[in-house]
Amino acid sequence: MEERNLIEAIRALHDGQIRLMEVCGTHTVSISRSGIRGILPKGLELLSGPGCPVCVTPQEEIKQAMDLAREKDTLLLTFGDLMRVPTKHGSFETLKAEGADIRVIFSPFDAIRIAEENPGKKVVFFSVGFETTAPAVAATIVEAKKRGLKNLFFLSAHKLIPPALRALLEGRRVLIDGFILPGHVSVIIGKEPYEFIPQEFGIPCVITGFETHDILEGILMLLKQIREKRAEVQIQYKRAVRPEGNPRARTLMEEVFAERDSRWRGLGLIPLSGFGLRENFKEMDARVAFDLEEPEPIPDPPNCKCAEVLQGLLKPPECPLFGKGCTPQRPVGPCMVSSEGSCAAYYRYGDFHAG
Amino acid sequence: MCLGIPGKVLSIKDDVAEVDFGGVRRHVSLLLCPEVKVGDYVLVHVGFAITKLEEEEAQETLRLLEEYLGREEFD
């Protein structure tokens, strides 16, 4: 009932051509699964943004981790979503099949146990993720230091959402009338880091939850701001998100990580958009311990349009490979691999609406 | 990857809570949410509680709907 009322209200309030971007991959999945796109009024479009950590991790960062995994006595740990991402040089999965010791972990804390159980190995955790995940990794790094673990290293490919949104807006390639902002990133960082979006770009923002009624309500709140010619950061997902975020998590993140320039698939090099380990934790920083240099960029496969999909310039079905050369079983690009990639979400739920 | 799973805290020992996810019980770190107490609902991401969940603010949704569906100009 409630959802039907929300849809009715959205229809009543919508006017003209409006493009909203859902930044987060979990939103993309939720939208595709619920079929929201198909019931929105004509002219109200939802675009997927760069909010799938696996999808925006460039090939060269994955290759760097694969090179480490090839070294003798190394045990590489990573999140499951990364295993099948294809690069020009294979994937973690193919490398594991060749005999490399690569293991999937569910929680960063597992890395501590595995390092303790394998004292003869150099255990490297290749960690990706946005602000949602970084505090858990930070807590793990602090604990590893406390325990004096000498064989656990972290290769951080963590990335940050607000600088990516700034890069997207400054690029001016895609026109966006409102942002459905990620709920769980915002649980950590709160609303302040997004204030530049309404202030500098005049674009309304709503931090939104993941249930169908949350997303519909987020859309309704955006339409209301647009109609009233207001632009501010509002929180729809109030049961989880406080305006100040999670101060304890933010302090830990700040203690362990320093911002660094980072390359994003689709968006290129974005200043201060990633996290590396601070000087105080350098003995656990894989970049220091293994003397790693910045990897050379690897170009995307021919015809793969992940870069455009990640910027909201193309919808997944508009890619020439979608469902033909590229499927979840045989993915070409990362957006079809990750369970939260927009191509995989569109494909799995048959969500081919033009919007 | 930013998935958060809600669960109810059953017990707490040091920094670790036993959390019930609709019948499945798991240990969850409270290092990011030290204020959590037994009986609270938490949102869990990669083995860590990242926030305490507040009661659903259903009133808020109802208010929004009344505002739109109640107004003649949008009907």
- pLDDT value, residue B34: 96
In a domain, A216, yes or no: yes
What mean pLDDT is predicted for residues A123-145? 97
- Per-residue pLDDT at A300 exceeds 90: no
Question: Where along chain B do its domains lie?
Answer: 5-74
Question: Does A156 share its domain with A263?
Answer: yes
Could you tell me which CATH class the domain B5-74 is placed in?
mainly beta
Contact B69 A128 (CB under 8 A): no
Question: Does A155 share its domain with A102?
Answer: yes
Name residue A281's beta-bridge partners: none
- pLDDT value, residue B75: 35
Contact A139 B29 (CB under 8 A): yes
Residue among A51, A241, A249 whose CB faces B32 most closely: A249
Contacts of A108 in chain B (CB under 8 A): 46-47
Question: Does A228 share its domain with A329?
Answer: no
In a domain, A241, yes or no: no
- Per-residue pLDDT at A335 exceeds 60: yes
Question: Does A70 share its domain with A125?
Answer: yes
Q: What is the pLDDT of residues A179-204, one digit of tens each?
A: 999 999 999 999 999 999 999 999 99
Torsion of CA A341, A346, A349, A353, to 10 degrees: 150
In the structure, what pLDDT confidence band is assigned to residue B1 with cuts at 50, 70 and 90?
Answer: confident
Interface size between A and B, measured as CB pairs under 8 A: 125
Cα-based angle A14, A221, B60 (whole degrees, multiple of 5): 130
Q: A249: distance to nearest CA of chain B, Å? A: 5
pLDDT greater at residue B60 or residue A268: A268
Question: Does A63 share its domain with A194?
Answer: no
Name residue B20's beta-bridge partners: B8, B25
Question: Does A132 share its domain with A65?
Answer: yes
Note down the domain range covering A342.
306-348
Ramachandran angles phi, psi of A90, nearest 5°: 90, -170
User: Using CA atoms, how far apart are residues A253 and B36, in angstroms rounded to an integer?
Assistant: 20
In a domain, A279, yes or no: yes
- Per-residue pLDDT at A280 exceeds 70: yes
Q: What is the ipTM of this complex?
A: 0.92
In a domain, A165, yes or no: no
Question: Does A273 share its domain with A137?
Answer: yes
User: Using CA atoms, how far apart are residues A50 and A28, in angstroms rounded to an integer?
Assistant: 11
pLDDT greater at residue A296 or residue B74: A296
Of the candidates A146, A87, A92, A35, the one whose C-alpha atom is nearest the C-alpha of residue A306 is: A87
- pLDDT value, residue B67: 67
What mean pLDDT is predicted for residues A243-259? 98
- Is B24 in the A-facing interface, judged by CB distances under 8 Å? no
Q: CB of B19 within 8 A of CB of B41?
A: no
Q: CB of A176 within 8 A of CB of A237?
A: no
* Mean pLDDT computed over every residue of chain B: 83
Of the candidates A340, A348, A343, the one whose C-alpha atom is nearest the C-alpha of residue A128 is: A340
Question: Does A73 share its domain with A151?
Answer: yes
CATH number, domain containing residue A263: 3.40.50.11740
Domain count along chain A: 3
Question: Does A145 share its domain with A270?
Answer: yes
In a domain, A295, yes or no: no
Q: B7: distance to nearest CA of chain A, Å? A: 13
CATH number, domain containing residue A222: 3.40.50.11750
Residue among A12, A52, A239 whose CB faces B54 most closely: A239
User: Using CA atoms, how far apart are residues A281 and A146, in angstroms rounded to an integer?
Assistant: 11
The whole model's pTM is what? 0.93
Residue among A25, A109, A220 whose CB faces B47 most closely: A109
Question: Does A201 share its domain with A326?
Answer: no
